[in-house]
Amino acid sequence: MELFRIKKDIPFMRHALIFNVISALTFVAAVFFLLHKGLHFSVEFTGGTVMEVTYAKAADVDAIRKTVENLGYTDAPVQTFGKAQDVVIRLPLPKKDASAAQQTDIVLQALKAKDPDVKLQRVEQVGAQVGDELAHDGLMALLMVVVGVVIYLAFRFEWKFAVAAIVANLHDVVIILGFFAFFQWEFNLSVLAAVLAVLGYSVNESVVIFDRIRENFRKQRKMSVKEVIDNAITSTISRTIITHGCTQMMVLSMLLIGGPTLHYFAVALTIGICFGIYSSVFVAAAIAMWLGVKREDLIKPVKEKDDTDGAVV
């Protein structure tokens, strides 16, 4: 299905160097913020206490957040959960001279001083050891996805394409993490799931372009490598707009009306989709070109028969 067809190829590779310099600067900035500020991990990773309280009427989240901050928990996320009356408060690990139960009781008493109708629905404690295990498992999952993508692309195409695709995908992941480090958005398990989803999503776009490049090498034997790549990207633009447009509409619906639970998950996906399109076009294809991908890398030479004696040449 095509919404439109572009008759003249767009010279994407002509400006590949400029766009890749921009990508490199963005990547370096993301790494700087990751090292300088670091990620704001949620209690799933750092350990802590999760309180869910309910009010008789719609909760004033800003007032609750101010109350919690006055107790010394300046970085404790406070957000509604499900209904406007239900609020989730995530507290860090208590100090050495206090227990989790005492910490919960202090916060609850402070909230009741402002509104006596508040009720405690549930309390969950996440230990530091559990948080370390989750962080380790998350990194292992990310590493396994990266290795799997490299192996898949190396078998399906050629190692140059595998390297190009994985560099482009890691570029997307690091930039997502850079955004979360710069704005100090909470990094939780749902965001980690979004990062893993972006890896697979970006690979899909790269595979579509690489498939068209291989097809063009077979059909357009007089084109240069640059012309083949430009034609492949141009001919898949309609598909890219349809696919990413529909996906982005779904993600935006989660971002706008999905509530706090899905907010950062949708934010990570939104950043990943936008940069995934960019990296597949300007990063992956350009790196494959600079690595010296050739027609012979993907297409085996065709043996032709000599009409005079039938010998294979």
Confidence of residue 289 (pLDDT cuts 50, 70, 90): confident
Determine the Cα–Cα distance for residues 133 and 141; give it in Å rounded to an integer. Answer: 12
Q: Is 90 exceeded by the pLDDT of residue 29?
A: yes
Least confident of 44-48, 119-123, 173-177: 44-48
Q: Is the pLDDT of residue 305 over 70?
A: no
- Which secondary structure element, helix H or strand E, spans residue 86, and what is its range? strand 83-92
Question: Quick one: average pLDDT of 122-132?
Answer: 74
pLDDT for residue 126 is more than 50: yes
Per-residue pLDDT band for 301 (boundaries 50, 70, 90) equals: low
Give the pLDDT of residue 313: 40
**Joined tokens for residue 153:** 């692309």
H/E segment holding residue 239:
helix 237-257
pLDDT at 285 over 80: yes
Please state, in angstroms and rounded to a whole number, the distance separating the CA atoms of residues 107 and 113. 10
Q: Which pLDDT does position 168 carry in this prediction?
A: 86
Cross-strand bridge partners of residue 40: 186
Is the pLDDT assigned to residue 207 strictly greater than 90? no
Residue 307 pLDDT class (50, 70, 90 cuts): very low
Q: What is the mean pLDDT of the chain?
A: 83
Residue 59 burial (C-beta neighbours within 10 Å; 0-12, 13-18, 19+) = buried
Which of 13-17, 57-61, 105-109, 162-166 has the least mean pLDDT? Answer: 162-166
